[in-house]
Homo-oligomer: A and B are copies of this chain.
Amino acid sequence: MASKVSTPGSESSSVQDYVKTIYALSEWHDEPVTSSRLAARLSVANSSVSEMIRKLAELGLVNHTPYRPVELTADGRRLALAMVRRHRLIETFLVRDLDYRWDEVHDEAELLEHTVSDTFIDRLDARLGFPSVDPHGDPIPTAAGAITLPDALPLDSFDDGHSGRVTRISDEDPQLLRFLAAEDIGIGSPVEVLGRTPFGGPLRARVGTGTGARDFSFGKELTGAIWVESVGRHAGCSLVP
């Protein structure tokens, strides 16, 4: 019988954040999740991560061999998706009902996700009309723990000449979000890659439609944070845990 980690309850907020971060590091890329990557993301010392990983393993939330990367168990993944759902529903609520800007919601959601009850989350979900993505285009897992990842790639992995639509923008850096908002680039914006400037220079692309279309140079930070879905293709893969 599977253990009952369908709902965050007994776990401390630290445990919840570690598990959620392990998931987040492997949601879009699939590099191994190491102690040092976790430490950097969570802004804690490596030694703190080592200790917590031992605890997570004891709780059955991760599998871990010392000195190796860490991986979520089925229970860990369930807990992570429950936290991701909370985080993204709260962000959506803050933008839609409390007039937050999309660069203001992440930090507030990072705290609230640990505090609200299941009832609160379910009521919010209903009130918002069961949204499928948050304000940054991140997919929102269902109450049952299913998530549909869009078939998107980071802008820097697009070939020259290809075009698509912005599907997701990393919400980690509020300044980046504010910059893009000021430039009128957001979820749904059409993009066509024109070419690369050599020696690590920016990626040039055509953004927007009709009269609003213009050329834009995307630096390294931006091309990694902006995810684009090819025009024509669609669907994405549905993963049920």
Q: Chain A 107-121 against B: per-residue CB contact (8 Å), 1 yes, 0 no?
A: 010011011110110
A31 contacts chain B at the CB level, 8 A cutoff? no
Residues of the B chain whose Cβ atoms lie less than 8 Å from the Cβ of A99 = 123
Interface size of A in residues (CB-CB distance below 8 Å): 18
Minimum CB distance partner of A98 in chain B: B123
- Residues in A71-114 with C-beta less than 8 Å from chain B: 94, 97-100, 104, 108, 111-112, 114
A15, chain B: closest CB distance, angstroms: 17
Copies in the complex: 2
Q: Cβ of A98 and Cβ of B124 under 8 Å apart?
A: yes
**Given A98-B123, A99-B123, A108-B120, 16 other A-B residues pairs in contact with their CB atoms under 8 A:** A94-B120, A97-B97, A97-B127, A98-B120, A98-B124, A98-B127, A100-B119, A104-B119, A108-B116, A108-B117, A108-B119, A111-B115, A112-B112, A112-B115, A114-B115, A115-B115
